[in-house]
Structure 1
Amino acid sequence: MNHKNVWAILVLMIATSQTIVAQNKSISNPKIEALLKKMTLEEKIGQLNLATYVNENNSTNSLNDQIKKGDIGSILKSNGAKKNYDLQKIAVEQSRLGIPMMFQEDVIHGYRTIFPAPLGESASWNLQNIEMSASIAAKEAAAGGIHLTYAPMVDITNDPRWGRIVEGAGEDPYYGSLVSAARVKGFQGKKFTSGENVMACVKHFAGYGAALAGRDYNISDFSERTLREIYLPPFKAAIDAGVESVMCAYSTYDGVPATANKKLLDDILRKELGFKGMLITDWSTINNLVKIGAAANQKDAVLMTINSEVDLDMTSGLYLKYLKELVNEGKVKVAVIDKAVRRVLIAKQKLGLFEDPYKFFNEAREKETLLNPKHLEFARKTAVESMVLLKNKDGILPLKSSVKKIAVIGPLATRKKDMFSWWGGDYSQGKPEDVVSLLEGLKQTVGKDVVIEYAEGIILEGFEPKGLELIPAAVKLASQSDLVILALGEEYWMSGEGGSISNIDLPGAQEDLLKAIAETGKPIVTVLFNGRPFDLQLVEKHSTAILEAWFPGTMAGLAVSDVLLGKYNPSGKLTVSFPRNTGQIPIFYNYKRTSHDVNGQPNPNRWNNKYLDIPATPLYPFGYGLSYTNFEYSNLKLSSETIKKGDSVEVSIEITNTGKIFGEEVVQLYVGDDVSSVSRPMKELKGFKKIGLQPGEKQKIVLTLTPSDLSFYNQDMKWVLEPGTFTIMVGASSEDIKFSKKLNVIETK
């Protein structure tokens, strides 16, 4: 039979069932079952093979041959409407059954328009914007021929040595869960068949952020309590939001690699959390089972993985190599393979690929969508909201009209690719020429009567000090200027996957440059471009103001300029604690009480859990961030002093803008359990609200607490609500608590 005729028959069979059912619900689909019956074992296994377009072992010709044979069900690292159309055409018109392929990619914080790196974006505390940036990234990716993105990464971590901290939402599982859901909703939208949304793949399941010593891919060791309290909540939030795919972690849980951990993947993910979508390995992780000694050989590794209900084999090709043999030996049941293939086919059906396999490959739409002016405008808005003002001595910011000559110093002031982060720089379609650098942004936006001059200051190429001979020229420029804007941070590749560091000091000779400029006595406004917390003690000492800009993306320079010039009043708040130095790591706000704490703080006496050489507190705590205005908190009230199961309590507080300009404040609600059957954190974030106030304006905000917010896992790992008192705290950060009140749980059954 002609391949086109086969395809036409399949279209007729499947098109009738194209009403997209609710995501992640059990699907009874006779058309998919009919297609499964037509497939050979080899074709079924091919649907589970996720190949890479850039695999050095695959020439384009051999890849095309595999597609014709039906040996490839999905491809990653192939971008562009035209390229993917041509590959899809081979699958649809030259393979026996004409099953369309799914194209997958790392669309982490933008496709061509690059938004702030996720850690930075999370500092905006603006869930609506976070969802929208994911939606725009999806729209651009879909226009570029992509069906599924490997995002969001929702791993919670408190170790800034770990490079992938840049890819998550920080240290708090409650806030991380809200960001997780927002990003899933943004990527996936409401209707895949529009061709403007992509499937999300939440990663890495589970506990990948616990890598020991902050070394990526390293072993991890944590309890079931930590798994349930810290690492699972963002995944549950993603599943509840309808995420269609989950990626396994490289790491282990309870000594068993995640890729072949049946308890983790089947018992917890599928049965307990109710996930019904596709489960994907990370890059070649089946082969890693052999490398770490969990499997004797590749064939055994495949057996372990498929029997753990992992559907797609990313890049290793080992399903293709061994699954048929394992079936013939009776070690793998065809029903197990059918279950995996069914999930893959249903995903393709949800995307509308059986109805129109070429829906995502419109070159005119691609040209119109990528770098759309509205996307760039929103990227600028998102970037300014992500920035955190860490210091502003004597209100030096926003820049005053009296500043007529500005020295912009530091190599990062002119860098473009370094505004992207590792994912945006090497693993997106973003291009450095799209970026507005800091120096360009300032020159475009300052008044005509302001002179801006630039000095590189040092050479930033790696971690070793370079370019010290350039410092004198920078010092001379600074001494002749009214003010210095000093761009410090890290190169884009220094954080991200595989970007672990042992020391969180600023790389290269940046501290030497800072000290030399400080000797001029000129005011220094330090702008930080980075994807992780650094040791900023020296920066804090010598800077008049500090703006944490993160990796701001395509509109970097314009966004920073907006904040420095006061066109936007910074409102960002940290979602990760900044240690004073490397020795404090790990440090986080929601630590559990110890026998030597006093009123929630380390005991000042010698015999306690403090350090002798530095304070035990972070340099900048979770939730911290300054504004160009001031806010006054007053009149904290609880709607009831007691709560019982089935009830809720409203927590109200009044916020007043006591300054002279409009500002936004992130009001944060924390809860502490006074007495509990297991050790609990001193405080946990359980609510927040971001509000904007005009000068002199007062607003009452109300946050709601439910029994679930006061519940926890007891000694038997049961989710319980215990009677007793809780301390309800409201403040401007995890340390800046303005008011607190007691709430009594009186009935738990």
Structure 2
Amino acid sequence: MLDAAEAGGLPASVEALIGRMTIEEKCGQLNLMPAAWGGGVATALNPPTNGPSFDGQLADVVAGRITGVFNGNGAEMARRMQTAVMRQSRLKIPLIFAADVIHGHRTIFPVPVGEAASFEPDLARRTARVAAYEAAGAGIDWTFFPMVDIARDQRWGRTMEGAGEDPRLGELFAVARVKGFQGDDLTANDAVMACVKHFAAYGAGESGLDYNSVDLSERTLREVYLPPYRAGFGAGAGSGMASFNEIAGIPSHGNPWLLQKILRDEWGYKGFIVGDYTGDEEMIAAGFARDSRDATRIAFLAGVDMSMASNNYWLHLPGLVRDGTVPQEVLDRSVRRVLAAKHMLGLFDDPFRRIDAKREKARTRAKPSLALAREAARRSIVMLKNDGDVLPLSKSAKVALIGPFAEGQHDLNGPWVVYGDNAQAVDLATGVRAAGVASVTVTAGSGVEQALPGGIAAAVAAAQAADVVVLAIGESESMSGEAQSRTEIVVPAPQQELAEAVAKTGKPVVVVLKNGRGLALAGAVRAAPAILVTWFLGSESGHAIADVLFGAYSPSGRLPCSFPYESGQEPYHYAHKATGRPAATLTEPYKAKYRTTLNEALYPFGHGLTYGKIAYSDLRVPATMAWDGTLEVSATVANTGTRAAEEVVQLYVHDRVASITRPVREMKAFRKVALAPGARETVTFRLTRADLEFIGLEMKPTVEPGQFDLWIAPSAQAEGVKGTFELRAA
């Protein structure tokens, strides 16, 4: 049994509640349900259920059958439910109100993978802080975020929710987002409890298929997929969420090795774990549980403290406790964890601390929040290509905006937005006109996944009459996100045909991609002289893109996920193994390559250009590193161009010989530096032996003496400046 300290310092009055609670009331504290009075598009985001009416749900909370609800309809709904509980329930245990606040509440920020492209964890902390400020103002205590799953298969739709393919980047953004949501004081009325999800390795589903099986080695799990979770939990996240997938045949909702041995015993985590939407029930279809009662037994004993949406814990857990299948002390332990979270949120002191309709209105889309949304959006944009310095564009140029995303209040916020409204977001045409561009025409040319009658002809005519084409193409909101896996991560055929036709006019084309994942670019899209990756940027989309297009802001984003040459390369990540037959050219026979491309990316992790001209030189790396010492390495980074720039300087290493084969490169650190025209800066990194560790033969972190390659470079494939050093034995 947890003591009071483990439970978060429960006061005696709250601890005493456990002794007064019936088994049913205890199980009710572990039962989370979707709000009957839903908010925004919540009902479309989650599978439909035959839930009760709002009055029926009020009766449930008064009777103690539910611990709280999620994705509800704001402060007024929360006020009515909390009032009913505090006036009419037997024990008056406050409800907890949760929501999917993934990349903003009412003010919408870039999708998380786009925000990760900023390579600025503190930006993520700041946007999470604003999201918490708005959400808490609407009565929300708890968000189901951050998602920290590593995504190395861009076919997976939920790539957009995380920080991409690299564990180090994932760790830093996990910490930043937890701290941003929870703030300095979790009892504050602008703080929201974070939930690290999905535990674990959800992003490694076979074939990039959502909800699919995961089968990987324990070593890969510990080296690649677990570090961001551990970082998020270590940052103080009050809760975690089990993942839909299985690992090596065991569903995460029923995996005590994952939820107990690793999370509790190894990492010492004290918070509570909630299941994902009907995740316990889904073990039946997976062939792991006989029925709902069996699924409840498996999930609860494995370590899922709270059930979401299935109602199983209310229906079956009391009986399992009474017949001795579930020990009473295990039930009490989970109840204590949940009550501890409510206590840490300040709900026992003031159940209404985040419920205030006037505050909700005052905090919605405030000017500073929208200003941050614009800043975050432009910092998330990645310039892949700028041949001939096509960008930035002149405001005096005749600009033809062409494509299904050129204009209109659609597909701006991005997937997984419960409370935001595309009608309040700024589209591209509006942003370009607001930038003061003298001549702008807008032509759709095609739909997202279907041709438009006469669309290509109209687009060609518009291009011919213009000086430059801005081609706004890519994915719609419905093509990315949960349950939106794609077999071909390409620009849809009608848009590709549009691009080919426009390119034939000979006018310079700037491709503005809308996407929630890495894409395989082809034909006229790949050949365009300039390409911007703009993800789904949220409330200030159009203004931010215009800022970059016309030079008010020099692009500073870098890819958090690799763009392959072809879809068939997926799963692809930069930190792959060399194999015993590495390929240097396409013509070498019997090497690790495809018939049409090498095992590398068209645009790799870390890649991105600026309006400056960046050069790397003067690598300084000592020849040796002492076993217990520090290796200080540096390089000079210069902006030889005529425009200011921000460069993301990245440090990679490769262990040449080890008892476990090592990736061709692993990013260990990065630093973003601002460089005026003609400026140069010496960028210094420090490595310790711990930075060189890997999971060894005994499945524990280890490191071995030997030679290491080292790069300070602008991407995972760029040479930058390269050196070597030797780690000497103790």
Q: TM class, shorter-chain normalised?
A: over 0.9
Partner of 2:557: 572
Match of 2:579 among 594, 602, 612: 594
Name 1:459's counterpart in structure 2: 447
Matched, 1:432 2:429: no
Among 650, 658, 665, the residue aligned to 1:683: 665
Instruction: For 1:611 and 1:682, locate their aligned partners in 2 and report how far apart those are by CA, in whole Å.
Output: 18
For 1:112 and 1:71, the matched residues in 2 are separated by 30
Amino acid paired to 1:432: N
* Residue pair 2:416, 2:481 contacting (<8 A) in 1 also: yes
1:236 paired to 2:230? yes
| Candidates 642, 647, 652, aligned match of 1:660 | 642
C-alpha offsets along residues 307-330 of structure 1, whole Å, 9 cap, x if unaligned? Answer: 112111001000100111111111
Letter in 1 for 2:239: S
| Residue type of the alignment partner of 2:611 | Y
Report matched runs for 1:152-301 at 5 Å.
152-301=146-295
- State which drifts further: 734-743 or 495-504: 734-743
Q: Which one-letter code corresponds to 1:572 in the other structure? A: G
Cα deviation for residue 712 of structure 1 reads 0.9
Identify the residue that residue 616 of structure 2 maps to in structure 1: 633
Question: Partner letter of residue 620 of structure 2?
Answer: K
Q: Residues 254-298 of structure 1, C-alpha deviation per residue, up to 9 Å, x if partnerless?
A: 211100101111001111122110100000011111111101111
| Match status 1:730 vs 2:715 | no
Deviation string, structure 1 residues 143-163 (Cα, Å, up to 9, x no partner): 111111111111101111110
In structure 1, the residue matched to 2:30 is 48
* Corresponding residue for residue 740 of structure 1: 722
Q: Give, in whole Å, the separation in 2 of the partners of 1:413 and 1:117.
A: 19
The 8 Å contact of residues 585 and 598 in structure 2, kept in 1 or not, is answered as no
| Aligned position for 1:707 | 689
- Deviation per CA, 1:171-218: give whole Å up to 9, x if none: 111111111111111111110111101010011101111111111011
| Residue of structure 1 equivalent to 2:352 | 358
Structure 1 contact 602–616 (Cα < 8 Å) conserved = no
CA gap 1:455/1:200 in 2 versus in 1, 3 angstroms: same
In 1, Cα distance between equivalents of 2:408 and 2:264: 45
**CA deviation profile, 1:419-452 (whole Å, cap 9, x unmatched):** 111112xxx21011210000010011124xx111
Distance 1:610 1:736, change over 3 A: same
Maintained 8 Å contact 1:289/1:301: yes
Distance in 1 between residues matched to 2:690 and 2:7, nearest whole Å: 25
| Deviation for aligned residue 1:604 | 5.0
Q: Which residue of 1 aligns with 2:570?
A: 585
653-662 vs 601-610, greater mean Cα deviation? 601-610
Q: Partner amino acid for 1:251?
A: N
Selected match of 1:389 from 372, 376, 383: 383
SS of residue matched to 2:241 = strand
- The verdict on how the C-alpha distance between 1:26 and 1:633 changes in structure 2, with shifts beyond 3 A counting, is same
**Counterpart position of 2:17:** 35
Counterpart-to-counterpart distance in 1, 2:274 and 2:136: 20
- Alignment pair present for 1:674 and 2:664: no
Unpaired segments ≥5 residues, structure 2: 37-48
The aligned residue for residue 613 of structure 1 is 596
Q: Quick check: 2:499–2:525 contact (8 Å CA) kept in 1?
A: no
Name the residue aligned to 2:43.
none
* Secondary structure in 2 matching 1:171: coil
CA distance in 1, matches of 2:7, 2:675: 43
Deviates more, 1:392-401 or 1:140-149: 392-401
Aligned twin of 1:9: none
AA aligned opposite 1:680: R
Partner Cα separation in structure 1 for residue 70 and residue 130 of structure 2? 20
Compute the displacement of 1:540 (Å).
Answer: 4.2
Q: Supply the distance in 1 between the matched residues of 2:686 and 2:358 (Cα, whole angstroms).
A: 48
Secondary structure, counterpart of 2:454 in structure 1: helix
Query: Stretches of 4+ moved more than 6 A in 1?
Result: 21-25
* Structure 2 residue corresponding to 1:697, chosen from 679, 690, 695: 679
1:697-749 CA-to-partner distances (Å, cap 9, x unmatched) read 1111211111111111111112112111111111011111211222221135x
Q: Is the 8 A contact 2:635 2:721 kept in 1?
A: no
Q: 1:613 to 1:406 in 2, by over 3 A?
A: same
Q: Deviations over 1:351-386 (max 9, x none)?
A: 100111001011111111110110000100010010
Partner of 2:540: 555
1-structure distance, mates of 2:453, 2:654: 50
Q: Secondary structure in 2 aligned to 1:310? A: coil
1:348 is paired with a residue of what secondary structure?
Answer: helix
Aligned residues: 716
C-alpha displacement of 1:593: 2.0
Q: Give, as a single letter, the amino acid of the residue that structure 1 aligns with 2:189.
A: G
Q: Distance in 1 between matches of 2:457 and 2:292?
A: 59
Q: Is the 8 A contact 2:556 2:647 kept in 1?
A: yes
Matched-pair contact (CA < 8 Å) for 1:79–1:145: no
Q: How many Å separate the matches in 2 of 1:193 and 1:350?
A: 6
The answer on whether the counterparts of 1:163 and 1:501 sit within 8 Å (CA) in structure 2 is: yes
> Any idea what SS the aligned residue of 2:571 has?
coil
Q: 1:491 aligns with which of 455, 476, 494?
A: 476
How many Å separate the matches in 1 of 2:66 and 2:488? 43
| Letter of the 1:308 counterpart | A
Is 1:80 the counterpart of 2:95? The answer is: no
Q: How far apart are residue 224 of structure 1 and its match?
A: 0.4
Q: Is the 8 A contact 1:418 1:491 kept in 2?
A: yes
- Structure 1: distance between partners of 2:10 and 2:76: 35
- Structure 1 runs not aligned, ≥5 long: 1-20
Q: 1: CA distance between counterparts of 2:586 and 2:388?
A: 33
Maintained 8 Å contact 1:514/1:542: no
**How far apart are the structure 1 equivalents of 2:623 and 2:8?**
43
Q: Which amino acid aligns with 2:261?
A: D
Q: Does 1:719 align with 2:709?
A: no
Q: State the Cα distance separating 1:539 from its structure 2 match.
A: 4.1
SS in 2 for 1:339: helix
Counterpart position of 1:650: 632
3-state SS of paired residue (2:592): coil
* SS of equivalent to 1:238: helix
Shift of 1:415: 3.3
Residue equivalent to 1:5:
none
Give per-residue Cα distances to partners, 1:556-613, cap 9 Å, x unaligned: 0000000000000001110111011111111111001211126xx5685111011222
Please provide the CA RMSD for this pair. Answer: 1.6
Say if 1:199 and 1:602 are closer, same or farther in 2 by CA, change over 3 A.
farther
